[in-house]
C-alpha cells in the first residue's frame, strides 16, 4: 500500500493536472464559439457562389469546361484535414483511419493517389508510412482566413487542372454539435454534379460564359476547400473542449478517490498509534 506522503503527492499532482485541463477547456470553448460563427458566416457566400456558378454553367447552354467534365481516373487526390496537435479525443484518428481505409480499398500502389495534408497530425501519419504526400500545410491559426490557405487551395486546384490527379476528395470532421462531429468524405473535383437548391437565375454578363467560368470555377473549388476547413476547425475546438472537460471530470474523480484512500490510511495509522499507546499503558500496569 502507498504511504501517506505518496498518496498526498498524487492528490497534489492530480489537482494541478485538473487545473491545466480546465484552463484548456475554457480556451477551447472561446475558440469554438468563434469558429462556429465563422463557419456559419461563410455559408451565405458559398450558397451565392454556388448559385451563380450553376446559373452560368448550366443556364448558358451547357458550357464545357475541364473542371466540369469527368475524365478517366488514373490518379486520385485526397485532401485530409486534421489539427496540428492532439488532446482532442478521436478527432484526428477518426479522419486518418477513414482515409487510410479508403486508400487501401481503392488503390494498389502509391502511384494511384496523392495526399494533400492540412494539419501536422495527417502529415506525420502519412509521411511516416511512406504514402504519397504531395502537398502539406501546418501551423494554421485557430481562426484561419482564406489568405492563410490560399496557396494550398490554388496549388491543389492547379494540380487537378494540370493532370497531377483526375479527381479530388476531401476528408474532414463535419460539425454537428458541441459533442458530435462526423467524419465526412466529399468529392470536390470534377464539378460534374454541380447543382443548386435555388432556382437558376438568368444573368447578363460580359465577356463570354467560358471566360467567366475560367475564373469563377477555380474560385468556387477553392471556396469548397476553405469551407471544409472552417467546418473542421469548429469540430476541432468542440472536440478538444469536450475532451478537456472529460479529463477534468476524471481528475476530480481521481482526487476524490485518492482523498478517500488518504483519509482511510490516516485513520488506520491513528488507530494503530492509539492501539500501541493503550497496549503500552496496559503493559505498565
196 pLDDT higher than 60: no
Q: Which of 27-31, 132-136, 192-196 has the lowest mean pLDDT?
A: 192-196
Cis-peptide, bond into residue 266, ω within 30° of zero: no
Task: Determine the pLDDT at residue 207.
Answer: 77
Structural domains of the chain in order of their starting residue, each with its CATH number: 4-24+243-284 (1.10.287.80), 38-239 (3.40.1380.10)
Identify the residue with better confidence: 47 or 232. 232
Cβ–Cβ under 8 Å, residues 114 and 122: no
Do 242 and 179 form a contact (C-beta atoms < 8 A)? yes
What's the predicted TM-score (pTM) here?
Answer: 0.88
The separation between the first and the last C-alpha atoms of the chain, rounded to the nearest angstrom, is 35
Amino acid at each position: 500500500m502507498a504511504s501517506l506522503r505518496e498518496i498526498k503527492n498524487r492528490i497534489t499532482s492530480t489537482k494541478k493536472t485538473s487545473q491545466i485541463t480546465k484552463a484548456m477547456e475554457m480556451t477551447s470553448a472561446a475558440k469554438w464559439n468563434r469558429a462556429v460563427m465563422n463557419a456559419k458566416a461563410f455559408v451565405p457566400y458559398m450558397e451565392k457562389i454556388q448559385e451563380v456558378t450553376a446559373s452560368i454553367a448550366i443556364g448558358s447552354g451547357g458550357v464545357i469546361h475541364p473542371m466540369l467534365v469527368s475524365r478517366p481516373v488514373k490518379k486520385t487526390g485526397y485532401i485530409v484535414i486534421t489539427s496540428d496537435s492532439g488532446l482532442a479525443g478521436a478527432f484526428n484518428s477518426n479522419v486518418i483511419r477513414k482515409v487510410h481505409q479508403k486508400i487501401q480499398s481503392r488503390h494498389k500502389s502509391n502511384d494511384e493517389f496523392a495526399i494533400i495534408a492540412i494539419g501536422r497530425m495527417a502529415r506525420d501519419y502519412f509521411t511516416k508510412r511512406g504514402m504519397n504526400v504531395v502537398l502539406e500545410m501546418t501551423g494554421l491559426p485557430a481562426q484561419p482566413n482564406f489568405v492563410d490557405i490560399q496557396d494550398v487551395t490554388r496549388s491543389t486546384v492547379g494540380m487537378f487542372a494540370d493532370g497531377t490527379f483526375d479527381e479530388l476528395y476531401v476528408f474532414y470532421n463535419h460539425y454537428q454539435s458541441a459533442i458530435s462531429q462526423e467524419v465526412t468524405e466529399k468529392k470536390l473535383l470534377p464539378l460534374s454534379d454541380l447543382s443548386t437548391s435555388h432556382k437558376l437565375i438568368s444573368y447578363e454578363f460580359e465577356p463570354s460564359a467560358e471566360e467567366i467560368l475560367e475564373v469563377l470555377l477555380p474560385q468556387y473549388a477553392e471556396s469548397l476547400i476553405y469551407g471544409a476547413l472552417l467546418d473542421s476547425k469548429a469540430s476541432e475546438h468542440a472536440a478538444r473542449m469536450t475532451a478537456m472537460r472529460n479529463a477534468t471530470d476524471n481528475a476530480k474523480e481521481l482526487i476524490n478517490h485518492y482523498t478517500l484512500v488518504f483519509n482511510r490510511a490516516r485513520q488506520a495509522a491513528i488507530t494503530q498509534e492509539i492501539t500501541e499507546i493503550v497496549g503500552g499503558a496496559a503493559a505498565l500496569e
